[in-house]
Structure 1
Amino acid sequence: MSDPAGPPLPAAAAPSGKATRINLLDFKSPQMRAFHMSWFAFFLCFFAWFGIAPLMKAVRAEMSLTPDQIGWLIIGSVSVTVFARLAIGWLCDRVGPRLCYTWLLVLGSLPVMGVGFAQDFETLLIFRLAIGAIGASFVITQYHTSVMFAPNVVGTANATTAGWGNLGGGVTQFAMPFVMTTVFVGAFGFSDYWGWRASMIAAGAVCFLTGIAYYFLTQDTPEGNLKPLRAEGKLPPANSTNGTFLEACRDPRVWVLFVIYGACFGVELTINNVAALHFADNFDMNMATAGLAAAAFGLMNLFARSLGGYFGDVFGGRSGLKGRVLWLFAALFAEGLALMLFSQTTGALVLAIPALIVFSLFTQMSEGATFSVVPFINKKCLGSVAGIVGAGGNAGAVAAGFLFKTETTWWPTAFLILGGIVTGVSFLAFLVRFAPEAETAARTEFEHARGERVGDLLPSAA
């Protein structure tokens, strides 16, 4: 019997080729293939990036790690990403997101698998430093969806792909302990020594295979890949991107968003690294249970970051670019207050989990709100802007990591300090301003894209 609903509608496209709506059941159009592949690739990168975090109780016991060493592992896992994101944004402008993602996944899988061969703190730290490079995957995801979707849905597209990618940080909190204890230790009879190592090797292998798939299943733009488009004269030559990074660096708004993103995504990275140990040490949980509690934070990415981007689009439609910025301030301000609330719940699990969920909601909405603004800063150097702002998230995580590496600072106190910093940073959003002509251009483009979408949805005349 045939499906009465018929096949899924493709993503409606504006004259630029950009999709004006998001159809999750569409796997054929280049826009939606990029959407699905980019979030899935980022999900795997995030999963592998923080795969060792929920296993740290076993690793700490095996290698006799001190709090200072654990702190350096937290810092190391996010520090290299700062530089990787700066570079990958420029590379996206130059060679396109398809090749960038392919090589990042293939090469990034090596240190992920390498973690499984670490024998002491020093080798573990080296692999944790190298593994941070796959965190640059976020920039490619945001770049790819930004060039594939029109202004009326770009905030939602960016936030959803990034949010579903970040979901890997929540899934890994319970999935990796399950893989280790149930699959490798329980089913295959591995010792704990080999159990966590085999889990990391498996995660790296999946990243490698996904890199190959990305090459064959996606294209750079709605019209095709950058190299043939440049050969046909439809796009400027690759060397035209040489000055884009410096141009992005000269815009103070980029650096304001750099700091703001550090206060939301940087905080998320920090929580992903410390949450399982926080629940294990302060609530007397075993590794699997602590992982489940920590997962409550990351699993909010299923919809929370999408909400941040969606409301960015809504406020953008109502109040222009200024509306997007005001929404960013509100979400970040609420995040800071929620983090301070969470810091005061130690010892009361019935309060800690709800507080963690509220805090997670605003953290991820702040991230979505940030990248509902980014595509409008400078379209000529989108990759460089996305790379710099994305690097701010990891710079924030590096800075926050120092709060958790000392034996004299109680972790709930570190959460309280961090919440106060986030609340203060939220006011920097008011420094992100747009010229009247930019507001007018954004409004015109938004209305045009919305009109294209409505026209596509109306039934055609018989």
Structure 2
Amino acid sequence: MAAQHARLNLLNLSEPRIRLLHLSWMAFFVSFVVWFSHAPLMGDIREVFDLTSDQVKALLILNVALTIPARVVIGSLVDRFGPRRVFGWLLIIAALPCWAFALATTYEQLAVTRLLLGFVGAGFVVGIRLISEWFPAREVGLAEGVYGGWGNFGSAAAAMSLPTLALLFGGDNGWRGAVACTGVLSCVYGLVFLWRARNTPAGASYFRPKKASALEVSSRRDLFFYLAMCVPLYGALLVIVWRLGPGQLGLYGLNAQLALVAVILSLAIVQLWQIWRVNHARLRQGVPEHDRYRFRQVAILDLAYMVTFGSELAVVSMLPLFFIDTFDLTAVTAGLLASGFAFMNLVARPGGGWLSDRFGRKRSLALLLAGLVLGYGLMSQIGSGWPLALAVMATMLCSFFVQAGEGAVFATVPLIKRRLTGQIAGMVGAYGNAGAVCFLTVLTFVDASVFFLVIAGCAAVTLATVQWLDEPRGHIAEVDEHGQVQLIEVN
């Protein structure tokens, strides 16, 4: 394998696939700038609208609430319509709620527009399918890692640049100009993406699923497995509805809460029925051997992304306060030290993809999950008696395994079933957001030490399931638009 491993030259812009990679991670970067544009400006927004602590927390939850179902929906759209159109139009349309948020005059308007902006967080899924079309299996892990790691940095870039931009606009409404500028950036880059991006290299086929409303599976056992794995996603949405409702953050009353529960349960029933409808007839006719794959591959990656990306979102949310409380730091110092957790994305996520390309998908993911278990176990021991430098080093070490693990997960996703890559990536991505909801909910009941141990325990369980992950080997068989079977190398 080492002899076949090609060096990926990210500076070779004369190569079409390298240009496409840069075009893609920048689209993801822009989507994260828009998605998290409110976070660094929340102090100004709180002051202008005289928000309570609970109202601020509600806005932060609303910002990620729709991302769970959105990633599933966007994954289906990508497989059906192609990444170029989906990513381009997602960025253009995202500008509308972004501008509406900037023009909001009431808390209710802030809440609704933040909820809608959760959809742009699903843009990540689009690039997973797009990158897999342009890079061979021996390089796809590193390419996906660069896409995910560099694009993810958009949230940090927003935190560093938007407060300064708000100051340049000046006054109490400077934040409005800064947020509105991210909407302009999103709209313009969406047009650029539609102009420059291509779904596949010249002459290559873009394989589409027979039905995009639900993931196609290969056996009746896999069908029931798939149905069961959808349930936790709706459970996470119900947790969000509970957290925002009466007795918690109080964003709405009991009647509204019951109505939202009814909507979520109705959507769950509709989706489960769609899954059954799409697959029942297909399985009754029989699935050709060349078209089969094991759904357990998807389920294991769901869990792996839940404990990697899910824990990252949760830890990034609580880490500044953890440093303040543990070491009696100022908010500025704590925020600076905690930002190192997200900064590791720039090298760790591509590093996880590179390890997968070089040493195998299953082995690399298992190794990184083991490191994650140890990392969170170490963080659970951090106390006020620790030297601050040692605590920061432990945090950075843990964050490397977390984000490298994310890279290893999405080094495997594109190698399961090419025409279903968008839907698979959507489900895996949704589990990442659902994991964040679950871990943050746990944090409301326990202290930080137990919180880190809970994540370590979940990672240990996931590590055990990875032993049943199949290393991608041989080829994926897909049927092109002319009815010809094409073989795609996966190792």
Q: TM-score range with shorter-chain normalisation?
A: 0.7 to 0.9
Match for residue 112 of structure 1 among 98, 111, 126: 98
- 8 Å contact kept, 2:376–2:456: yes
User: Which region of structure 1 is more displaced relative to structure 2, 424-433 or 156-165?
Assistant: 424-433
Q: Aligned to 1:107, what secondary structure does the other structure show? A: helix
Counterpart-to-counterpart distance in 2, 1:49 and 1:420: 30
What residue in structure 2 maps to residue 9 of structure 1? none
Counterpart-to-counterpart distance in 2, 1:272 and 1:196: 23
What residue in structure 1 maps to residue 377 of structure 2? 340
State yes or no: 1:220 paired with 2:199.
yes
Match for residue 245 of structure 1 among 215, 219, 224: 215
Counterpart-to-counterpart distance in 2, 1:161 and 1:61: 36
Once the two structures are superposed, residues 155-211 of structure 1 have per-residue CA deviations (whole angstroms, 9 ceiling, x without a partner) of 1111111111112233334x14xx32x4432x44323xx233333222222122111
State yes or no: 1:155 paired with 2:127.
no
Structure 1 unaligned spans of 5+: 1-13, 317-323, 451-462
- 8 Å contact kept, 1:337–1:420: no
Q: Tell me by how many angstroms 1:106 deviates.
A: 0.9
Q: Aligned to 1:139, what secondary structure does the other structure show? A: helix
Q: Aligned to 1:220, what secondary structure does the other structure show? A: coil
**Within-5 A mapping of 1:62-461:** 68-119=54-105, 121-173=107-159, 175-176=160-161, 179-180=162-163, 182-185=164-167, 187-191=168-172, 194-223=173-202, 240-242=210-212, 245-247=215-217, 250=226, 251-279=295-323, 283=327, 288-316=332-360, 324-347=361-384, 349-404=388-443, 406=444, 409-433=446-470, 439-441=473-475
Once the two structures are superposed, residues 219-262 of structure 1 have per-residue CA deviations (whole angstroms, 9 ceiling, x without a partner) of 110026xxxx8xxxx666x6734476233875232122112111
Distance 1:67 1:257, change over 3 A: farther
Amino acid at match of 1:87: V
Distance 1:344 1:74, change over 3 A: farther
| TM-score w.r.t. length of structure 2 | 0.73
- 8 Å contact kept, 1:171–1:295: no
- 8 Å contact kept, 2:473–2:490: no
Amino acid at match of 2:314: T
Distance 1:376 1:239, change over 3 A: closer
Once the two structures are superposed, residues 300-331 of structure 1 have per-residue CA deviations (whole angstroms, 9 ceiling, x without a partner) of 11110011010001112xxxxxxx11221221
Counterpart-to-counterpart distance in 1, 2:333 and 2:487: 46
Q: Tell me by how many angstroms 1:130 deviates.
A: 1.5
Q: Tell me by how many angstroms 1:122 deviates.
A: 4.0
Distance 1:338 1:72, change over 3 A: farther
Counterpart-to-counterpart distance in 1, 2:8 and 2:30: 22
Q: Aligned to 1:361, what secondary structure does the other structure show? A: helix
Q: Tell me by how many angstroms 1:216 deviates.
A: 1.0
- 8 Å contact kept, 2:129–2:421: yes
Distance 1:448 1:258, change over 3 A: closer
Amino acid at match of 1:213: V
Distance 1:94 1:121, change over 3 A: same
Q: Aligned to 2:344, what secondary structure does the other structure show? A: helix
**Within-5 A mapping of 1:12-23:** 22-23=8-9
Counterpart-to-counterpart distance in 1, 2:34 and 2:156: 11
Q: Aligned to 1:433, what secondary structure does the other structure show? A: coil
User: Which region of structure 1 is more displaced relative to structure 2, 333-342 or 118-127?
Assistant: 118-127
Counterpart-to-counterpart distance in 1, 2:296 and 2:328: 46
Structure 2 unaligned spans of 5+: 227-294, 477-485
User: Which region of structure 1 is more displaced relative to structure 2, 142-151 or 79-88?
Assistant: 79-88
Distance 1:159 1:235, change over 3 A: closer
- 8 Å contact kept, 2:209–2:420: no
What residue in structure 2 maps to residue 39 of structure 1? 25
Once the two structures are superposed, residues 23-58 of structure 1 have per-residue CA deviations (whole angstroms, 9 ceiling, x without a partner) of 212334432222001111111212332233344455
Q: Tell me by how many angstroms 1:413 deviates.
A: 4.2
Distance 1:235 1:290, change over 3 A: closer
Distance 1:34 1:337, change over 3 A: same
- 8 Å contact kept, 1:57–1:287: no
Q: Tell me by how many angstroms 1:76 deviates.
A: 2.5
Amino acid at match of 2:440: G
Once the two structures are superposed, residues 342-398 of structure 1 have per-residue CA deviations (whole angstroms, 9 ceiling, x without a partner) of 344354532332222111101111001111211222223222111111211111112
Amino acid at match of 2:365: L
* Corresponding residue pairs, total: 403
Distance 1:239 1:300, change over 3 A: closer
Amino acid at match of 1:184: A
- 8 Å contact kept, 1:75–1:397: no
RMSD over aligned CA atoms reads: 3.2
Amino acid at match of 1:113: W
User: Which region of structure 1 is more displaced relative to structure 2, 58-67 or 142-151?
Assistant: 58-67
Q: Aligned to 2:382, what secondary structure does the other structure show? A: coil
Q: Aligned to 1:303, what secondary structure does the other structure show? A: helix
